[in-house]
């Protein structure tokens, strides 16, 4: 462990730490963020008498729209001059959301990322190939700072440019690689096309996240690269990467850095807190951030949380893989479908590649979904396309409870990811 004293802290002691930090955070936002002061006043909360964890659910929620409405710096709790770094989301749906970090925030962020790298199986001295995008996206610079802090030999390669990536992998022999699962998949494919198998590379550990991916995709990536692949989760509004990560020992759920981030799982409709183990919307309250503390931030991500002990010895609770985002849910003929449910069904067909995309169109007043998926190069000449299409349509109908169309396409015909994969083409 990178910080055994916190990572394996006794739960009662951890709760006391969280309590202290929560009270501090509430006082801080009340004093410095007019948005929170008025929300807290509306909820009848006086920071001086607020009792902490026992009253957590009295605190107001924060939504992505609040960050947008307060664009760019309205939710900052420090003067702008104390902010050392800004990051922002791509802003594909309207204004971007902007997040800020003080010097202390940058330290806490590098701490949780260093911790994440060790949890994944990284060690000081390892060469670390960082293929998360550098720039306003938090993935590249976040993991970079964590790796340097841990003492890794950090290669800031960023996303894209597959040929340059595999040349650097051959030349620098990284033991650890990080990137989005879709990009690392396509990088492995590009290596094979160039006559170099990723399994023969030096890479032993893969740290994949920033987009949803399935257990089937993990198996695919582990076999392709001959690695341990672990899931890393995070979001800019909370800090970036490093909020939670799987340990290489168990690879069964992601340990949340609970000394910095308080987690709840709520029913997104009733907003009630759900019992442990039930899937709902993840909600985070930051406990140590200075520039942009958030109270009960609604992530839109669906997952469950467990406090079952883990074989790695860490006591921090684990979240499940993200099952989907609330706003990615499709309603196909009245049936709710999450894009992530489709990946394992596609990947169960041995003749199909893991390269797929979902096309949503209007058909009268209904939505129609088509799954486009590439046949494997090796099956291309052998397979009966219409039988394969029917087989996948049947499997999708059986698993999703609704008919969707399938279009099996030629190898290499679908776009490859450079960072976060665009899985849904919305033609409505
Ligand atoms: O994606 C931070 C990050 C960078 C995480 C590198 C992991 C590795 P945002 O761009 O703000 O931040 O996007 C956050 O991405 O709310 C989820 O919907 C999704 N996401 C992140 N990690 C995972 C994951 C970064 N492991 C949004 N599984 C989140 C599924 C994920 N979805």
- Could you tell me the domains of the chain? 9-248+286-294 (3.40.50.12780), 329-426 (3.30.300.30)
231 CB within 6 A, ligand 1 = yes
pLDDT value at residue 158: 98
pLDDT value at residue 232: 98
Cα–Cα distances in Å, from 235 out to 52, 174, 338, 388?
24, 26, 20, 38
Q: Beta-strand (E) ranges in 113-197? A: 127-130, 153-155, 176-179
Q: Does residue 31 have a pLDDT over 90? A: yes
pLDDT value at residue 363: 85
Q: What percent of the chain has pLDDT over 70?
A: 99
199 CB within 6 A, ligand 1 = no
Instruction: Determine the atom of ligand 1 nearest the C-alpha atom of 209.
Output: 26
Q: How far, in Å, is the centroid of ligand 1 from the Cα of 327?
A: 14
240 CB within 6 A, ligand 1 = yes
Mean pLDDT along residues 215-236: 98
Mean pLDDT along residues 323-347: 93
Tokens 């009268």 belong to 364
Q: What is the pLDDT of residues 378-388, one digit of tens each?
A: 999 999 999 99
Q: How far, in Å, is the centroid of ligand 1 from the Cα of 43?
A: 31
pLDDT value at residue 90: 72
For atom 14 of ligand 1, the residue with the nearest CA is: 235
Q: Does residue 264 have a pLDDT over 70? A: yes
Q: How far, in Å, is the centroid of ligand 1 from the Cα of 213?
A: 11
209 CB within 6 A, ligand 1 = yes
What stretches of 153-281 show up as alpha helix (H) in DSSP? Answer: 162-172, 181-193, 215-225
Distant-in-sequence, close-in-space partners of 335: CB < 8 Å, separation ≥ 6: 400, 401, 402
pLDDT value at residue 365: 83
Q: Does residue 93 have a pLDDT over 90? A: no
Q: Which of 158, 213, 215, 234 to mutate to test the pocket of ligand 1 (most atoms within 8 A of CB)?
A: 234
Angle ∠(256,287,14) on CA atoms, nearest 5: 60
Tokens representing 194? 């160039």
Q: Does residue 91 have a pLDDT over 70? A: no
pLDDT value at residue 92: 61
pLDDT value at residue 381: 92
For atom 13 of ligand 1, the residue with the nearest CA is: 235
Mean pLDDT along residues 353-370: 92
- The Cα 133–Cα 135 span in angstroms is 7
**Averaged confidence pLDDT in the chain:** 96
């Amino acid at each position: 462990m990178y910080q055994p004293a916190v990572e394996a802290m006794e739960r009662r002691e951890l709760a006391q730490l969280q309590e202290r930090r929560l009270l501090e955070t509430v006082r801080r936002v009340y004093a410095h963020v007019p948005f929170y002061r008025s929300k807290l006043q509306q909820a009848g909360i006086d920071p001086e008498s607020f009792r902490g964890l026992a009253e957590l659910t009295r605190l107001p929620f924060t939504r992505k729209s609040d960050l947008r409405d307060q664009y760019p710096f309205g939710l900052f709790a420090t003067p702008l001059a104390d902010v050392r770094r800004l990051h922002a989301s791509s802003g594909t749906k309207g204004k971007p959301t902007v997040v800020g970090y003080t010097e202390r925030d940058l330290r806490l962020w590098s701490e949780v990322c260093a911790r994440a790298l060790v949890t994944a199986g990284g060690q000081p001295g390892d060469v670390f190939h960082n293929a998360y995008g550098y720039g306003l996206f938090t993935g590249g610079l976040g993991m970079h700072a964590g790796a340097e802090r841990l003492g890794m030999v950090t290669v800031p390669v960023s996303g894209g440019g597959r040929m340059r990536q595999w040349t650097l992998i051959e030349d620098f022999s990284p033991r650890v690689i990080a990137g989005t699962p879709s990009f690392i998949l396509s990088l492995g494919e590009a290596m094979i096309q160039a006559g170099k198998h990723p399994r023969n590379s030096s890479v032993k550990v893969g740290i994949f996240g920033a987009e949803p991916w399935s257990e089937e995709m993990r198996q695919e990536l582990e076999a392709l690269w001959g690695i341990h692949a672990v899931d890393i989760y995070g979001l800019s509004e909370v800090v970036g990467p490093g909020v939670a990560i799987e340990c290489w020992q168990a690879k069964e759920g992601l340990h949340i850095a609970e000394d910095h981030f308080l987690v709840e799982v709520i029913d997104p409709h009733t907003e009630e807190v759900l019992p442990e183990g039930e899937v709902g919307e993840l909600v985070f309250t930051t406990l140590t951030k200075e520039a942009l503390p958030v109270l009960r931030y609604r992530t839109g991500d669906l997952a469950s949380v467990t406090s079952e002990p883990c074989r790695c010895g860490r006591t921090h609770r684990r979240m499940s893989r993200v099952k989907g985002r609330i706003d990615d849910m499709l309603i196909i003929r009245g049936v709710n479908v999450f894009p992530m449910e489709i990946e394992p069904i596609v990947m169960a067909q041995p003749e199909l590649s893991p390269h797929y995309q979902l096309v949503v169109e209007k058909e009268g007043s209904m939505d129609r979904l088509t799954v486009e998926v590439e046949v494997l190069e090796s099956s291309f000449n052998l397979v009966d396309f219409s039988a394969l299409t029917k087989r996948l349509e049947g499997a999708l109908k059986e698993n999703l409870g609704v008919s969707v169309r399938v279009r099996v396409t030629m190898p290499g015909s679908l776009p490859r990811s450079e960072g976060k994969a665009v899985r849904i083409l919305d033609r409505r």
